[in-house]
């Protein structure tokens, strides 16, 4: 089955066209990408890249939003997308309404739209991907929504529940749903494939560090805790998101700044994190350059706080799991910033974790699905970098859903 994967992030769209084949034992395997690429930096400095058997193009382009990005994408790929059997879309928030991959109908689309208030940076982008694809490829082609929240449905109630009045939580479906589930699942499976360790025997802490950041504790292949909660705002410091804050800050800022709650929430989502701390950029690459070349103290503090928050969660999740077999880094920062990995793991010898400086420096730019050990041999837990392959995961889920008729 030929599947087009559309992975819409908060500021990017990644796409891949693949053939998914079912083996005699029922396992699904995915061949090399027939076509793949990305549109990054939507709304600012946008770049466009396409790679394929007869394609190799890249360049800068001005794109305002995801709707325009989809139009540009399909316009530039005209003639290369024949014979598609299904389309798989990453969707960030499914709440408790969508707990598995689902065929997209008008009702499902409306449900995704209704959840946009819980993921304002992401679900609208996912919807733009769905609607833009239908506009070009037609309504008869089956499309599947693969939800980031679905992986975390296995978290126990004690990890999902906020300590607020139970009747309020039940009435308004307030729970810790977790996000980045596709990435965390891919990181865990990448570790298992590389080491030959069955997930059923592993305790893992996966770190998805990019513009959005989260950490997950995984036991026996199942998510038991994660840092994002009711929305993707909770947890680690991110590119523009604050992560954990005292809830009273919102009402305090509303009063002091004469602002509406929605406006303060927008500040926490769009003006905080690395951008707010540094006063300069949400891009870790730019911040690392400024710290090294200019010795910008504000930037250096932002990086230190970012790493501190990750290390704080790392210690907490070691306690949740009762120890771990491996720490797995992924995401744009996790895969490509050895200095950040070193800062996070520095002084973690108390738990047995110790990086190998040479391995750590060498492990950058991995191809999707590849993995590399970055810890010394005797380190327990060990540490790995895995280039998460979300698109392969989405493609296989799409085939399972279409063949199973789930809706």
- Tell me: pLDDT of 157 over 70: yes
Residue tagged active-site, from 148, 246, 342, 358:
148
Query: Other CB atoms closer than 10 Å to residue 19's CB: what's the count?
Result: 16
DSSP 345-361: HTT-GGGT--B-HHHHH
User: Residue 72: its pLDDT value, please?
Assistant: 82
Confirm or reject CATH 3.40.50.10490 for domain 197-390, answering yes or no. Answer: no
Structure token digits, residue 155: 């978290």
In the predicted model, what is the mean pLDDT of residues 262-288? 96
* Residues in binding site for Mg(2+): 7, 390
Tell me the CB-side half-sphere exposure of residue 107, using CA atoms within 13 A. Answer: 5
pLDDT at 52: 67
CB atoms within 10 A of CB 166: 10
Q: When comparing pLDDT for 204 and 232, which is higher?
A: 204
Quick one: which of 384, 366, 379, 373 has its CA closest to 327? 384
Q: Are 88 and 4 in contact (CB under 8 A)?
A: yes
At residue 382, does pLDDT exceed 70?
yes
pLDDT grade for 24, boundaries at 50, 70 and 90 = low
From 181, 99, 144, 122, select the one nearest 3 (Cα to Cα).
144
Percent of the chain predicted with pLDDT > 70: 97
pLDDT in tens, 29-84: 888 888 888 888 887 778 888 886 555 667 788 888 877 888 888 887 776 777 89
63, 72 in Cβ contact below 8 A?
Answer: yes
CATH class of 2-177: alpha beta
Q: Which residue has the higher pLDDT, 329 or 7?
A: 329
Question: Which residue ranges are tagged as binding site for ATP?
Answer: 14, 283-285, 332-336
Of 140, 156, 142, 6, residue with least CA distance to 67 = 6
Q: Does the pLDDT at position 281 exceed 80?
A: yes
- The answer to whether the CB of 280 falls within 8 A of the CB of 289 is no
**In 203-358, which ranges are E strands?**
203-209, 213-219, 222-226, 326-330
Percent residues over pLDDT 90 in the chain = 70
What does the pLDDT average to over 16-41?
83
* Span of 125-134, 184-193, 243-252 with lowest mean pLDDT: 125-134
Q: Where is the binding site for substrate, in residues?
A: 90
pLDDT of residue 138: 86
Angle at 56 between CA 52 and CA 58, to 5 degrees: 125
Please tell me the least confidently modeled range out of 41-45, 181-185, 298-302, 326-330.
41-45
Strands 143-147 and 102-103 come out as antiparallel
- 83 or 206, greater pLDDT: 206
Give the end-to-end CA distance of the chain in Å, rounded to a whole number.
Answer: 19
CB < 8 Å & 24+ apart, contacts of 339-346: 339/288, 340/209, 340/284, 340/288, 340/303, 340/306, 340/307, 341/374, 341/383, 341/385, 343/303, 343/304, 343/307, 344/207, 344/307, 344/310, 344/311, 344/314, 345/311, 345/383
pLDDT value for 69: 83
- Ranges 33-47, 104-118, 233-247, 286-300: which has the least confidence: 33-47
| Statement: residue 226 has pLDDT above 60 | yes
- pTM for this one? 0.89
Does the structure show a pLDDT above 80 at 358? yes
Q: What integer is the mean pLDDT of 108-116?
A: 92
User: Is 148 known to be catalytic?
Assistant: yes
Tell me, yes or no, if the two domains 2-177 and 197-390 fold the same way: yes
- Could you give the CA distance from residue 296 to residue 43 in angstroms, rounded to a whole number? 26
Query: What is residue 98's predicted lDDT score, i.e. its pLDDT?
Result: 94
Domain range annotation of the chain: 2-177, 197-390
Q: What is the pLDDT of residue 219?
A: 98
Q: How confident is the model at residue 275 (pLDDT cuts 50, 70, 90)?
A: very high
Residue 14 DSSP SS3? strand
- Whole-number Å distance between alpha carbons of 247 and 234: 11
Lowest-confidence region among 23-32, 105-114, 117-126, 243-252: 23-32
- If you write DSSP's letter for every residue of 206-226 in order, what string do you get? EEEESSSEEEEEEETTEEEEE
């Amino acid at each position: 089955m030929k599947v087009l994967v559309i992975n819409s992030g908060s500021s990017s769209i990644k796409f891949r066209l693949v053939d998914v084949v079912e083996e005699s034992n029922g396992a699904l395997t995915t061949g090399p990408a027939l076509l793949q690429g990305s549109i990054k930096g939507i709304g600012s400095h946008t770049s466009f890249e396409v790679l394929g058997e007869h394609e190799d193009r890249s360049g800068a382009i001005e794109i305002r939003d995801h709707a325009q990005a989809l139009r540009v994408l399909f316009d530039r790929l005209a003639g290369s997308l024949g014979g598609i059997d299904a389309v798989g879309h990453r969707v960030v928030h499914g709440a408790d309404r969508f707990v598995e991959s689902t065929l997209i109908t008008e009702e499902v689309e409306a449900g995704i739209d209704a959840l946009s208030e819980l993921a304002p940076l992401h679900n609208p982008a996912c919807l733009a991907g769905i609607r833009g694809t239908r506009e070009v490829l037609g309504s008869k082609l089956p499309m599947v929504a693969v939800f980031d929240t679905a992986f975390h449905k296995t978290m126990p109630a004690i990890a999902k529940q906020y300590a607020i009045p139970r009747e309020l939580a039940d009435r308004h479906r307030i729970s810790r749903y977790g996000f980045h589930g596709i990435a965390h699942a891919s990181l865990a499976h990448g570790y298992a494939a590389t080491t030959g360790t069955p997930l059923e025997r592993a305790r893992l802490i996966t770190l998805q560090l990019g513009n959005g950041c989260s950490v997950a504790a995984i036991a026996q292949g199942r998510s038991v805790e994660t840092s994002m909660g009711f929305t993707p705002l909770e947890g680690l410091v991110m590119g523009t998101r604050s992560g954990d804050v005292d809830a009273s800050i919102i009402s305090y800022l509303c009063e002091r700044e004469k602002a509406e709650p929605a406006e303060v929430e927008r500040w926490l989502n769009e003006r905080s994190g690395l951008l707010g701390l540094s006063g300069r950029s949400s891009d870790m690459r730019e911040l690392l350059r400024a710290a090294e070349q200019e010795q910008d103290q504000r930037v250096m503090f932002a990086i230190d706080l970012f790493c501190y928050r990750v290390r704080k969660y790392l210690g907490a999740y070691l306690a949740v799991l009762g120890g771990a077999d491996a720490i797995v880094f992924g995401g744009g920062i996790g895969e490509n910033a050895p200095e950040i990995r070193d800062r996070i793991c520095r002084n973690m010898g108390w738990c047995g974790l110790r990086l190998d400086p040479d391995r750590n420096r060498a492990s950058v730019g991995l191809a999707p699905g590849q993995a590399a050990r970055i810890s010394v041999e005797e380190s327990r837990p060990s540490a790995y970098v895995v280039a998460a392959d979300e698109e392969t995961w989405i493609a296989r889920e799409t085939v399972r859903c279409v063949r199973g008729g789930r809706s």
